[in-house]
Amino acid sequence: MKEPLAPGDSTPKGPLDHGKGGSLRWVRGGIVFVGGTMLLVMMALTIVDVIGRYIFNSPLSGAGELTELILVSVIFMGLPAVTLEEEHTTVDLFTARMPVRTEPWRALAIGVFSAIVLGTIGWQLWVHAGRIGAYGDVSTTLRIPIAPVAYFCSVSTFISAMAAVMVSFEPLFKRPGKG
């Protein structure tokens, strides 16, 4: 759970604040940069396709396939970044009434549960990617192999599972009164 900023402090206090900048902040920054670049490519691809389709009556061949593959890549690439920043959507119907001393243990339980779920999803994606690769599935128009994208999604989900565990243990080691 994120702590609010102190008056006059513009630096967020969260799981990535490990010293000056921290290596995890660089990892997240890299993920966000690559994901943002992929979104820009997807936007340009869509613009070119729409202009070609409606002005020149000649759509960009395979634009839909590329958009789908880029979109799934952006979503799964962003998963570890969201996990590292603890930005998943949460509902705290009961936790607001729990004693503050239980917060680290609650965070640990939720983090471990999330890691188990993410690990299971990653494993199933890996199995599915193997099946896709075994029968050589490719995209319809551009003939792009689908298995590497599925493996990428699986690896991203495994990285998110590891991030969930790492982030969930952090509250146990924070000193009381420190941000």
**For residue 54, what pLDDT band results from cuts at 50, 70 and 90?**
very high
Using a cut of 0.85, tell me whether the model's pTM lies above it.
no
- Encode pLDDT of 118-169 as tens digits: 999 999 999 999 999 999 999 999 999 999 999 999 999 999 999 999 888 8
Q: Is the pLDDT of residue 171 over 90?
A: no
**For residue 23, what pLDDT band results from cuts at 50, 70 and 90?**
low
Three-state secondary structure along the chain? CCCCCCCCCCCCCCCCCCCCCCHHHHHHHHHHHHHHHHHHHHHHHHHHHHHHHHCCCCCCCCHHHHHHHHHHHHHHHHHHHHHHCCCCCCCCCCHHHCCHHHHHHHHHHHHHHHHHHHHHHHHHHHHHHHHHHHCCCECCCCCCECHHHHHHHHHHHHHHHHHHHHHHHHHHHCCCCCC
